[in-house]
Amino acid sequence: MIVEGSKIGGEIVGIDTVKIYVQTDIKTAEILLDGLKNDKKYRVEIKRHREKRSLDANAYYWVLIGKMAAVLDTSKEEMHNTQLNRYGVIKLDEDGKPEFCMERDSENYLAYKHNHLYPTDQTENRKGVVYRWYIKLKGSSEYDTKEMSRLIDGTVEDAKELGIETLPPDELERMKAAWGETAT
């Protein structure tokens, strides 16, 4: 939950210990506390705020995907998933570990092309049925500015290699500046 308009402070209370305080209004505090269960442990995560990606950037990405798919004679969805496999972000579970799944290889070998999955190892059971392990990837709609920037930069380079005309660098930088962050 995002706590807008709240104040955060803290103090060092020991060599390895820091107390952090969040000051917010009563209603927000009640909502936060009502969601907690006494018999559960909780982990708090603090992340740097990043602006959501701009719709201009997303629209441009899909224009490039369409052009690349036409050149390579494939669907936009397959091209999109190819780009996610190249430049995408691994989906992490709540412990910060990559999420995996397993599919029956003989029936779903191409499943990763439609489900944001990256194929890794395969295994065979005692009956000779082959299964493939996949790492789950975040869909681009879940990307922050930095992640989307990497996806677009890679896609622009791939489009250029296919002879597809792309926006000039200054226009790409304008789109990134609209996110409040330039490429590094």
**Three-state secondary structure call for residue 98:** strand
The whole-number pLDDT of residue 182 equals: 40
Q: What is the pLDDT of residue 44?
A: 65
What is the structure's pLDDT at 159? 96
Q: What is the pLDDT of residue 119?
A: 66
pLDDT for the residue numbered 96: 76
For the chain, which ranges sit under pLDDT 50?
1, 106-113, 180-184
Please tell me the predicted confidence (pLDDT) of residue 179. 54
| pTM score | 0.58
Residue 57, both tokens: 């950037």
CB contact at 8 A, 88 and 116: yes
Contact 156, 173 (CB under 8 A): no
pLDDT at 68: 97
